Amino acid sequence: MNAIIKSLESATPAACAPEPLRRPTPPPEPYPLAELGEVLAPAAEAIRRVIQAPDAIIGGALLAAASLATQAQADVHLDGRVIPLSLWLLSVAESGERKSAVDGEAMQAAREYERELSKAYGEDCDRHAADLAEWEARRDAVRGEAKQRKGDGLAAKLQALGAGPPAPLLPRVTAADFTAEGLFKLLSAGRPTIGAFTDEAALVFGGHGMAKETVMRTAGTLCKLWDRGELDRVRSGDGAAKLYGRRFALHLLAQPVIAERALSDDVLAGQGFLARCLLAWPEGTAGTRPYQAVSLRDDPAMQRLRARLLYLHRLALPLAEGERQELAPRALRLSADAFAYWRTVHDTVEGQCGPGGRFAQVKPWASKTAEQALRIAGVLTLVEAPDAQVIEVGTVERAAELALWHLNEAVRLAGTAALSPEVRDAEALLQWAHATGRSYLHSREALRLGPSRIRERDTFERAIGELVRAGWAEPVEGGMHLDGAHRRHAWRIVPASEGR
C-alpha cells in the first residue's frame, strides 16, 4: 500500500503539470552556409569562427549586403518578366546574439562607399552653387533684356538657356528608419539604389511608417519597389509624381518581441510585405562562445568580400537614356540547364501549395519562393562574376537551397503569426513573474509593475485567465495577505521547473 501511495504522489506533478501556452516550435534546419558560394561562404565561415553568431544571421547579413551591392547592375529576364535582384530579409535573434557585430562586418563595403560619396558630395555642392549662380545671372540678364522689349522673345531665350544645373544626388546608400513619404523623397533626390538596413527593427516596426494609420501605405509602397522598382505619389500640395527604375534592398534584424508583432500584423501579411521577406529565426549561440583573439580585418576571406562588394558599389550605374536617376540594369538570363532546374523547383513548390500540401499554410511565401531563388541566383552570380551575362545551373541549385531553407522557416514559424493577443499577453505575464521570482501574484502589483502590455485591467484579466486555464496560475480562494495587505485577487504562480 505504501508503495502505491508513493507512486501516486510521484505521479501527481506530472499529471498536473501545466499545459504549454502555444504549440512547441520545432528547431530550425541547419543553415546552408556552403551554398553562399566562393566569395560569401568563406567570409561567413570567418564570421562564424570569430563572432560565433547563429549561421542564419550571418548568411542573411551577407546575402543582404550582396543584394545591395548588385541590385542596380542587372535584372533576371525570364519569359518576358523582369525580376530585380533586390532581397528583403527579416532575421530574428535575442539581444546578445551579436546581430550588430555581424551586420557591421557584412556592411563594411557599403558604409565605406557611403563615406566616399559623402566626401564627394561636399565638393559637388560647391561646384553646383557656382554653376547655379552663373545660370541665374544669365537668366536675369535675359529677363532684363526682354523687359526693355516688353517681353518680346523671352520664352525663346529662356528655352535656349535651358534649365538650371541639377543639384547633386544625396549620397545615401542605406537608411535605418523610414516612412513611405520619406523614402519617396529620398529616391527622388538621391541615388536610385538604396537599402534599409538596421539592427534595431523596432525603429521600423515601431516607427511612424508602421503606425496603425500609415502601415498600409508603407507596406504598399515597399511592395511596389520589390516588384517593379516603381513608386508613385499623389498629393494635393505638390501634385502627382512617379519614379521608375529604382531598387530597394532590406535587412531588418529584430528581437523576438518585435518580430512576433510584425508576423501577427494582418496588414503586413495581407499587403504581402512579410511574404516578400526571407525569414530566419535561428537558435541562439549564447553560452557557447569562448573569446577568439583574432581580427577579422586581417582575414583573407573578409578582405576579398570587402574588395568585391566595394568594386560592385563603385561601378557606374546603368541608366536609361537621358536620365540621371532611372536605372536600366542589364539582362541576366538562365542557361538551358539552369532554366530546366529552376522550373522543377517552381513546379515542386507549387504542387505543395494545395490543400494538405506542405506549404498550404504559407502560400504567400511559397508563391514567391521560385522568384526568390532567381533573385538570389542573380546576386550570387554577380558577386562571383561581376561581368556575367548568364546564370548557370550550379548557381540556381545553390540559390534554390537557400530559398527553400527560408521557405521552411516560414513553415516552422507559421504558428507564431497565429497566436492570439491573449496568449501573447499571458506569455509576457508568466515570463515576468518567473524572471522576478514571484511565487504569488496579486492584481494590483501586476497592473503597477507588470509588463506594459498587460497594465489595463481587462487585458490583465484575460491574460491571467489564460494562465489559469493552462495550469500556470492557481487562484487563491478568499485571497491572501501579500505585500503588507490582504489581497482579494491573488494567484499562485507555478514555477517554470514544474512545467518541464
Query: What average pLDDT does range 483-496 have in this prediction?
Result: 90
Q: How far apart are CA 108 and CA 110, in angstroms?
A: 6
Flag whether pLDDT at 240 surpasses 70.
no
Of 71 and 259, more confident: 71
3-state DSSP assignment of residue 236: coil
Among 4-8, 272-276, 329-333, the minimum mean pLDDT is found in 4-8
Q: Is the pLDDT of residue 407 over 90?
A: yes
pLDDT of the residue at 284: 86
Which cell goes with 61? 547579413
pLDDT in the model for residue 372: 98
Phi-psi region of 79 (alpha: psi -120 to 50; beta: other; left: phi over 0): left
**461's grid cell:** 484579466
What percentage of the chain carries pLDDT values higher than 90?
57
pLDDT-based confidence at 274, cuts 50/70/90? confident
Q: What is the DSSP string of 240-270?
A: EEEE-S-EEEEEEEE-HHHHHHHHT-HHHHH
Q: What is the pLDDT of residue 264?
A: 66
Specify whether domain 420-499 bears CATH 2.40.50.140.
no
Q: What are the tens digits of pLDDT across the range 191-203? A: 999 999 987 655 5
pLDDT (tens digit, 9 = 90+) per residue, 435-475?
999 999 999 999 999 988 888 999 999 999 999 998 999 99
- pLDDT for the residue 237: 54
Is residue 238 exposed (0-12), middle (13-18) or buried (19+ Cβ within 10 Å)? exposed
**Structure-block grid coordinates of residue 432:** 515576468
Highest-pLDDT range among 264-278, 413-427, 453-467: 453-467
Chain segment 97-127, per-residue pLDDT in tens: 899 999 999 999 999 999 999 999 999 999 9
Cite the residue boundaries of each domain of the chain with CATH code 3.40.50: 33-115+172-331
What distance lies between CA 493 and its chain's CA centroid?
A: 37
Question: Percent of the chain having pLDDT more than 70?
Answer: 87
Residue 1: the pLDDT is 40
Most confident range, picked from 42-51, 215-224, 418-427, 468-477: 42-51
- Average pLDDT of the segment spanning 256-284: 77
pLDDT exceeds 70 at position 7: no
Tell me where in the chain the CATH 1.10.10.10 domain(s) lie. Answer: 420-499
Helix, coil or strand: residue 201: coil
Three-state DSSP class for 311? Answer: helix
Note the pLDDT of residue 353: 94
- Name the CATH topology of 33-115+172-331: Rossmann fold (3.40.50)
Give the tens place of pLDDT for each residue, 132-167: 999 989 898 888 888 888 778 888 888 888 888 999
Tell me: the pLDDT tens digits for 185-232?
Answer: 899 999 999 999 987 655 565 544 455 555 667 777 788 899 999 987
Query: What's residue 389's pLDDT?
Result: 97
Q: Is 328 exposed, middle or buried (0-12, 13-18, 19+ CB in 10 A)?
A: middle
Q: Beta strands 174-175 and 193-198: pairing type?
A: parallel
- Given a cut of 50, whether residue 496 has pLDDT beyond it is yes
Task: Provide DSSP, 74-100.
Answer: EEEEETTEEEE---EEEEE--TTS-HH
> What's the grid cell of residue 112?
565605406
Mean pLDDT of the chain: 87
